[in-house]
Amino acid sequence: MAAPTGHWLNLQLTGDVEKKTPRDAIGTVAYLSTGKMRQRMDVISGAVYCSQNDLTLHFGLGPATRVDNLEIQWANGSVETFDVPSIDKTVSLIQGKGVRK
């Protein structure tokens, strides 16, 4: 079995219901930039009747060793930018509060 060669970052997002964003962050869009590459992922609930998508967003970073920019456009339209100090892990972000420790 070959060892994985690329880097990655998972995001678990929590919206603030007082700011009119669902707690599960459905409808939120994440934009991640590394070097010349910009990726977009949307938090969606499901595609067909009786289905559920994983609400964790998985970004493949390839050979990149750091994230240059992470921008979250929450479902209520507000936008936040977050620093990502390290990769190859799951990061939990809370609307208006930053990274969950």
CA triplet 58, 84, 100: central angle to 5 degrees? 80
Q: According to the model, what pLDDT value does residue 46 have?
A: 73
Please tell me whether residue 19 adopts helix, strand or coil conformation: helix
Residue ranges covered by each domain of the chain = 7-99
The model's pTM: 0.88
Q: How far is CA 80 from the centre of its chain?
A: 12
Q: What is the pLDDT of residues 84-96, one digit of tens each?
A: 989 999 999 999 9
CATH number for the 7-99 domain, one of 3.40.50, 2.60.40, 1.20.1280, 1.10.150? 2.60.40
Q: What is the pLDDT of residues 3-57, one digit of tens each?
A: 778 999 999 999 999 999 999 999 999 999 999 999 999 999 876 777 777 899 9
Helix (H) or strand (E) holding 38: strand 37-42
Q: According to the model, what pLDDT value does residue 101 have?
A: 52
Looking at per-residue pLDDT, the higher value among 101 and 76 belongs to 76
